[in-house]
Chain A
Amino acid sequence: MRPERPPIDPDVDLGDPRQRAELRGGTVSLLGAIAVGGMLGAVVRHGLAVAFPHPPRGFPWATFTVNVSGCLLIGVLMVLITEAWTAPRLVRPFLGVGVLGGYTTFSTYAIEVQQAVAAGAARTALLYLAGTLVAALASVRVGVTLTRLATGVARQRSYG
């Protein structure tokens, strides 16, 4: 059964009886799926950070790209598995909590703002701070909207 409306928290929503119960019976497979997904996401993020380093006063494009693209993908994923289809048990834990959660990062974003300020690049820091926020939220919205249109769920449901 799909919940009545999409969740607020895509990692886990205890208001959804299925998610509330998902830790009982299959704890190892659940946490294992999250761990493996998290490893994959983090390794890709690390690979991009190594491939595209930024100078101390430069714009952190690698993390920016990771966070904005991860936000686009969570929008697509959540519409597919909570609005368009009913997904098998481990899909959300593996792809949403694990892969996309491990791929995107708030801590590196915060520390890169701090490092830019410490390097004397306050303007870059502010641009990165606000630019990531605006682009990431817009990406979620684009991912959600386009996927609803593509799957035809847009007309059938309300999202309150």
Chain B
Amino acid sequence: MSVILVALGAALGAPLRYLVDRAVQARHGSAFPWGTFTVNVVGSFILGVLIGGAAVGAVPGSLVALLGVGLCGALTTYSTFGYETVRLFEAGRRFHALFNAGASVVAALGAAFVGVALAEALWS
């Protein structure tokens, strides 16, 4: 059953990543991949809230499958992030490459921790 919810969530999450990426790029003309950075941080925060909520029994498992594993899983991406980092490095933008790797990991991790803490504060 959960596989259907995961698929449905992903059917929304993947196109959403594409559209958010376009919208962010249209506003930032820079070579730095802010679009991918944005979806990865936002998705990590939302998954944090869902997992934190599930841990205290406030979010049902079906919602975690739909919005967490499916939507957030497909909204966020490691392949795009990895390719961008390698391409930045290859194109001679070594600072951008290192900053992308460091900032994406730190910000997404921070967002996940804040999401879980927020959910625990809200629902416990």
Asked if residues B78 and A70 are in contact (CB atoms below 8 Å), the reply is yes
Asked if residues B15 and A35 are in contact (CB atoms below 8 Å), the reply is yes
Q: Is A115 an interface residue (CB 8 A)?
A: yes
Asked if residues B7 and A75 are in contact (CB atoms below 8 Å), the reply is no
Contact code string A21-46 (vs B, CB < 8 Å = 1, else 0)? 00100000001001111110111011
Asked if residues A114 and B113 are in contact (CB atoms below 8 Å), the reply is yes
Interface size grouping (class) on chain A: 35 or more
Asked if residues A74 and B11 are in contact (CB atoms below 8 Å), the reply is no
Q: How many residues of B contact A (CB 8 A)?
A: 62
Given contacts A6-B87, A73-B79, A110-B47, 11 further A-B contacts (CB under 8 A): A8-B87, A9-B33, A12-B21, A38-B10, A46-B6, A97-B14, A97-B80, A98-B14, A105-B78, A106-B81, A107-B44
The one of B11, B80, B90, B101 in contact with A9, judged by C-beta atoms closer than 8 angstroms, is B80
- Across chains A and B, the number of contacting residue pairs, with CB separation under 8 Å, is 215
Q: Is B121 an interface residue (CB 8 A)?
A: no
How many Å from the CB of B87 to the closest CB on chain A?
Answer: 5
Contact code string B82-124 (vs A, CB < 8 Å = 1, else 0)? 1111111011100000000100110011011100100000000
Across the two chains, which residue of chain A brings its CB closest to B25? A14
Q: Is A93 an interface residue (CB 8 A)?
A: yes
Are A45 and B112 also in contact (CB < 8 A) when A8-B31, A71-B83, A109-B78 are?
no
Asked if residues A100 and B79 are in contact (CB atoms below 8 Å), the reply is yes
Asked if residues B112 and A104 are in contact (CB atoms below 8 Å), the reply is no
A25 to B92: give the CA distance in the assembly, Å: 35
How many Å from the CB of B119 to the closest CB on chain A?
Answer: 11
A7 to B36: give the CA distance in the assembly, Å: 14
Across the two chains, which residue of chain B brings its CB closest to A7? B87
Residue in A8, A34, A137 whose Cβ sees the most chain B Cβ within 10 Å: A8
23 pairs, CB–CB < 8 Å, chain A vs chain B: A7-B87, A8-B87, A9-B84, A10-B83, A12-B18, A12-B21, A31-B15, A35-B11, A67-B79, A102-B13, A102-B14, A102-B74, A103-B79, A104-B80, A106-B78, A107-B72, A108-B72, A108-B76, A110-B112, A114-B109, A118-B116, A137-B85, A137-B86
